[in-house]
Structure formats: C-alpha cells, structure tokens
Structure 1
Amino acid sequence: MRFNYLKHITDGLDKPGLFSELMMTYGKDVWHYAYFMTKRRDLADDITQDVFVKVYEHLDTFRGGSSVKSWLLTITRNTSLDYLKTAWIRRVQLVPSWFRQDYQRSAENEWFSSEEKNHIWSLVLDLPRKQREVLLLFAHHHLSMKEIAELLELSEGTVKSRLHRARQAMGSLMSASLSERSE
C-alpha cells in the first residue's frame, strides 16, 4: 500500500473533501497560470478543468517532494503546453501590495487604477512566453527561484536570467508607454 502524503497532511480528509479543498485554495492560481500561458480565457477554463480532473485521478501520487502549489502549477504548465502544441488553441493583480493604497478611493481613482492594472497586464502579455512565465510565477505566485526552476525544469541561473530580462523588458515597455502617454 502506498503512503498518501496529502491524506496524511490533511488529517485524513476523504478524497472528495481533499479535492474540494485543493480547488478552493488553488483554483484561481491554476486558472491564472493557464491564462497567462495561453492568453485565452476559454482555454484557461478548459485547462483548469483538465488539471483538476488529472489531480483528482492522481491525488495519491503526490509525494511531498515539492509544495502542493508547485505540483499543481507543474501539471498546469504541462497541460497548457499540451494544449498549445495541439492547437486547441484578468483578474489577477500583478501590481505589488506596496503599490496598492488602503484608503477609500473615488470612482474616478478606481477607474484610473483599473485602467493602470489593465495596461500593466497588457504589457506583461507582450513579453515573450519564457519571460512572461517566469515573471508571473515569481511576482504573482510568489514561488522561489528554486521552485520555479524545478517547475520549468531549468537551472536556477536560467530562471534568474529570464526574470532579469523580463524585468528589464517591463521597465522599457513601461518607460515607452509613459512617454507615449505624456505626449
């Protein structure tokens, strides 16, 4: 009999209960990652459904060698790449918490804030997939360099390099965008 790591760490929840807990906890992360891999909401919906079907069928295979989140995002990445290869071809916040303000904002400020977030996301979507993927995993999903390297099957140096290039590209894109807006 195999040792079921997830069942062990969740105090023996039954499979449907554990599955429900995983969906509630990580469903948005899976969907967002699928969306940024494919740039299509309909595919993100399909991929998210496929990921959780795979997870349900293979819950007992999780060994705890990585975080549950890393395991789910690895499945999401592989499923997304499969979708992209076979041509079956925003609601997240990239803006860091220190950038957000906690006071009551007017409707006008809310609109401008929303527009700015949408603009930033459109710039992120303009990045090459390899840079966009690393930036998303680091900035939104808060994975460590090591976790990103394991998930993408890359060296940590490659991850750092891609993240550096993504940041440089975002800086250039944002500077160019600001210049255009001020003209």
Structure 2
Amino acid sequence: MESEYLKYIQDVDSTELYNLMTQYGDDVWRYAYAITKNHEQSKDIAQEVFIKVHLKMSTFRGQSSFKTWLFSITRNIALNEMRSSYFRRMLLFENVRSTQTAQSAEVTYMGNQAAAELREIIMSLSRKLREVLILNLEHDLTIQEMAGLLEISEGTVKSRMNRARKEAQKRWEAAR
C-alpha cells in the first residue's frame, strides 16, 4: 500500500518529508551506524538520505518497499563516505580521542548489560556479517529484501547470516 502510494509521488513537500523522516529516520540512522560505527557520521548520512529522497522521489518505482529503497540509498551513501579519505581521518581521530573514555553513569545504570555486550559483539563483526544480522534483527528485512538491497544472491545472504550468528554465538560464549 505504502509503496503503491509513494511510487506515484513526483515531489515531496515539506510535510510529507517530515512524515517520512519521522517514520523512517531512526531506522536509517541505525542502519548507517551499523555500517560506519560512527554516531556523528551516521547523523550526516541520515540527513543526506532524506535530502536525496526530497530531490529524487520520482525515481522510486515501487519495485521494493519504500524502506528497502531508503536502505539502498543509505548503504550507497555510507559506503561512499567510508571510502573517502575524510572519513578515514575522522575515524582515526575518533579512535585516538576515545581510547580512555568510560561509560557514563546513566548508560551504566539504564543499560541492560547482556544486551549491551551482545550489541558490542555484533558491532565487532565484519561489515558484511554485521550488516545482514542488523538488517534482519533490527529492521526485519526478509532474505529476499536483503539480497536485493545488498545486490547479492539469497544464498549468499543466508550464508552470511549463518556465519554471523555462529561467530556472534562463539564470541558470546567466549565472553562468558
């Protein structure tokens, strides 16, 4: 229904854009973060995604869900950013700067330790494994949707998903 409606929109007005950002903004940011592992960069990428949506809505043909289309844009922008030398320098700076930071008392108090550890394990996986796991667990994309988004076969998605789960489980058991 949503894709059917959206594929006929040529231009997105400010109200519609606000509604799309409200509905999908967190998902886009979390997916960008899953790829980049950088909070600030993920915010910038999410903004750029919705600018592209505003400018290029007419290119949405409804062949996939709107969310999958957004994730495709997000992935392309994130991967392009990661290839840029600016991003590599920012990532290096972030790693050097944050070597001695401790978690805030709020995060420690509010956080669920097991969930935080599991999230850390997932984020430590290689990008290819982390990406399929997060698309499945956080965004509920199907194997078919992930295959289309990542431009790989469904068998490759299943293989990566299996490897990601096994690796996460192995690291989880080693941490216990």
Normalised by the length of structure 1, the TM-score is: 0.78
- The question of whether the paired residues in 1 share the 8 Å contact of 2:68 and 2:145 is answered with yes
Q: Which residue of 2 aligns with 1:98?
A: none
Q: Which residue of 2 aligns with 1:28?
A: 26
> Within 5 A, what are the aligned runs for 1:167-182?
167-178=165-176
- The question of whether the paired residues in 1 share the 8 Å contact of 2:11 and 2:55 is answered with no
In the TM superposition, residue 88 of structure 1 has moved relative to its aligned partner by 3.2
Q: Find the partner of 1:16 among 14, 17, 34.
A: 14
In the TM superposition, residue 18 of structure 1 has moved relative to its aligned partner by 1.7
- The question of whether the paired residues in 1 share the 8 Å contact of 2:72 and 2:149 is answered with yes
> Within 5 A, what are the aligned runs for 1:114-129?
114-129=112-127
Q: Which residue of 1 aligns with 2:139?
A: 141
1:149-171 Cα shifts (integer Å, max 9, x gaps): 00000000000000000000011
> Within 5 A, what are the aligned runs for 1:39-50?
39-50=37-48
- The question of whether the paired residues in 2 share the 8 Å contact of 1:5 and 1:63 is answered with no
Q: Which residue of 1 aligns with 2:80?
A: 82
Q: Which residue of 2 aligns with 1:6?
A: 6
Distance 1:7 1:149 in 2: 21
1:1-38 Cα shifts (integer Å, max 9, x gaps): xxx951758xx996222211110110000000001100
Structure 1 runs not aligned, ≥5 long: 90-109, 179-183
Distance 2:147 2:85 in 1: 26
Distance 1:112 1:31 in 2: 21
Query: Residue 13 and residue 74 in structure 1: after superposition, are their counterparts in 2 closer, same or farther (change >3 A)?
Result: closer
- Name the aligned partner's letter for residue 32 of structure 1: R
1:49-83 Cα shifts (integer Å, max 9, x gaps): 11111111011221111000000000000000000
Structure ID, larger Rg: 1
- The question of whether the paired residues in 2 share the 8 Å contact of 1:48 and 1:76 is answered with yes
Number of matched residues?
Answer: 153
Query: Residue 72 and residue 114 in structure 1: after superposition, are their counterparts in 2 closer, same or farther (change >3 A)?
Result: same
Query: Residue 40 and residue 113 in structure 1: after superposition, are their counterparts in 2 closer, same or farther (change >3 A)?
Result: closer
- The question of whether the paired residues in 1 share the 8 Å contact of 2:123 and 2:130 is answered with yes
Structure 2 runs not aligned, ≥5 long: 88-107
Q: Which residue of 2 aligns with 1:165?
A: 163
Q: Aligned pair 1:65/2:63, yes or no? A: yes
- The question of whether the paired residues in 2 share the 8 Å contact of 1:145 and 1:156 is answered with yes
Distance 1:175 1:45 in 2: 33
Normalised by the length of structure 2, the TM-score is: 0.80
Q: Which residue of 2 aligns with 1:106?
A: none
Alpha-carbon RMSD? 2.2
Query: Residue 155 and residue 7 in structure 1: after superposition, are their counterparts in 2 closer, same or farther (change >3 A)?
Result: closer
